[in-house]
Each structure stands twice: as C-alpha cells, then as structure tokens.
C-alpha cells in the first residue's frame, strides 16, 4: 500500500448532452482547468462505449475482456483523474450500467457517447503529488505518489 494526503480544491458540476463525447470532454476540461488530481461521480446515460468487463484470467498483466455498448444504458459510477508521464489527464472510471433490467459493472475505457444527459460532480484534489504513469509490469497506468 502507498498513500498521500491532500485537500479538497474546486468543485465542478458538469453536464454532457446527448451525443457528447464524455471521456474526451472530461479530459479536455481537466486540461483547460489544469486539474492535476480529482475524484468524480457520474450519473445519467450512455449510448456508446467500449468497456472492460474484467480479466480473462487472474494474471499479471491481465488480458482484458472488451465489450462494445451500442444501445442506451443507464449509468452510475465513480472515477478519478491524474496526469500521466506526458502530463495528459488519465481517467479511471468504473460504472454500473443498466439496460432493460440487466446490469453489469465495467471499467469504461473509450468511445463514449452520451445518451440524453450525463451529470458529473468533480472534486479537485490539491496539495497532493500523484500521477498515473504507465506501469510496465501490469500493463496499465498505475496511481503513483511522489515522496
């Protein structure tokens, strides 16, 4: 385990409308507002997304199981934003997605399009020196704290 302690900074309330690129728009906002670290909640709908539903086997590095969503799904989730080694915002988002009574929990990765509306409540974390650089051993971007 590793950790760092910071403080709450600015709080953003964000709305994405039907057809908006959610992940791209959130990364653009983080860049524009110079958000270095943050935690967010999401509620609303997605019409498209490429998601990971888990690893095929419990190995390191994991082989992700991809699924493409191409219909309206209700969504509620939680995520974080930290910068990678190239100073680009890296978003990590886990959500529960529902459609016609079927629900699955996923890691939302790319290709996101909003269905009707998405509301995001983003809390900036200040006073913390954390990044999300590429972690070769695990083959993912891992949250890392500078001492």
Kindly report, residue by residue over 49-75, the tens digit of the pLDDT. 999 999 999 999 999 999 999 999 999
Q: Where do the domains of the chain lie, and which CATH numbers do they carry?
A: 7-145 (3.30.1330.80)
The percentage of the chain sitting over the pLDDT mark of 90, rounded to a whole number, equals 99
Q: Which of 115, 98, 100 is nearest to 48 (CA)?
A: 115
Give me the chain's average pLDDT, please.
96
pLDDT value at 120 more than 80: yes
The model scores a pTM over 0.85 = yes
Pairing of strands 130-131, 102-126: unpaired
101 vs 104: CA distance, rounded Å: 10
Residues 115-140 have a mean pLDDT of: 96
Instruction: With beta carbons less than 8 A apart as the criterion, state whether 130 and 38 touch.
Output: no
Nearest to 146 by CA among 86, 80, 85: 85
What span, in angstroms and rounded, lies between the C-alpha atoms of 68 and 52? 9
């Amino acid at each position: 385990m590793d950790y760092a302690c910071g403080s709450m900074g600015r709080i953003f309330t964000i709305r994405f409308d039907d057809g908006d690129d959610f992940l791209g728009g959130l990364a653009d906002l983080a860049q524009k507002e110079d958000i270095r670290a943050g935690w967010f909640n999401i509620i609303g709908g997605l019409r498209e997304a490429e998601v990971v539903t888990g690893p095929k086997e419990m190995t390191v590095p994991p082989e992700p199981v991809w699924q493409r969503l191409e219909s309206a799904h209700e969504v509620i989730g939680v995520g974080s934003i930290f910068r990678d080694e190239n100073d680009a915002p890296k978003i990590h988002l886990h959500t529960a997605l529902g459609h016609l009574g079927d629900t699955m929990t996923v890691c939302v990765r790319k290709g996101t399009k909003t269905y009707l509306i998405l509301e995001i409540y983003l809390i900036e974390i200040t006073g913390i020196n954390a990044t999300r650089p590429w972690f070769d051993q695990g083959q993912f971007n891992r949250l890392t704290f500078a001492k």
